[in-house]
Chain A
């Protein structure tokens, strides 16, 4: 069984640009959550999607948006990038059909904004 996969693994963008990050959950998992991890800190919750609907949103500006597709994969979009958006963006999948499960993380996308 493949784990959570994220693409791309690394990305360099310029301030003001837009970025799209992608995540494929573990097969059978219906929930995808996104986290931002700044160097030296714990992951911070951005969004959770379950069955294609937003179920939770963390304290992030409207420049951050996400969606989940019918196959349960997900995209995180960030507009008008700032230097402070530089971080490791982690996707976690969970929730099989029968109920909540542990959250498993992908390897992350390292975003650098210059």
Chain B
């Protein structure tokens, strides 16, 4: 089955700096890669996603890149702010049919210091 590895497990940056979180997946059939942000005690919130027919996607300060050949994808956050502090999870799934369960990485705790 699919396995998703996520690095680093913790990341500390100064406000205004960039943060990069990397994930690798094992199943070449996976074609949908969402990123979720989870603040303490709250639900995971979808922040951005990418499908396998696209190499990069941006939404304001957040971007995701996908390398299908290497089977890895990354989250980039620019101009980080204290409110970006949270745990970020990457996930992979095979979407397009009626299935599509998400396989998550173990998470990255991002701390943005003012």
Using CB atoms and an 8 Å cutoff, list the residues of chain A in contact with chain B.
Answer: 31, 33, 35, 40-45, 48, 50-51, 55-56, 58, 90, 92, 94-95, 100, 102-108
Interface residues, chain B, with chain A CB atoms under 8 Å away: 6, 32, 34, 36, 42-46, 49, 89, 91, 95-107
Other A-B pairs beyond A43-B44, A90-B44, 18, CB < 8 Å = A31-B98, A31-B100, A33-B101, A40-B107, A41-B107, A42-B89, A42-B91, A42-B104, A43-B102, A48-B100, A48-B101, A50-B98, A55-B98, A58-B101, A100-B96, A100-B97, A103-B34, A103-B100
Chain B binding surface, main DSSP class: loop
Give chain A residues whose Cβ lies under 8 Å from the Cβ of B104. 35, 42-44
Instruction: List chain B residues, Cβ under 8 A from A41.
Output: 106-107
Q: How far is the CB of B33 from chain A (nearest CB, A)?
A: 12
Please tell me if the beta carbons of A42 and B100 are within 8 angstroms of each other in the complex.
Answer: no
The CA of A42 and the CA of B92, in the complex, are separated in Å by 12
A102 touches B46 (CB 8 A): yes
**Cβ contact within 8 Å between A42 and B98:** no
Which A residues are CB-close (under 8 A) to B36? 105
Q: Which of A58, A100, A108 contacts B95 (CB 8 A)?
A: A100
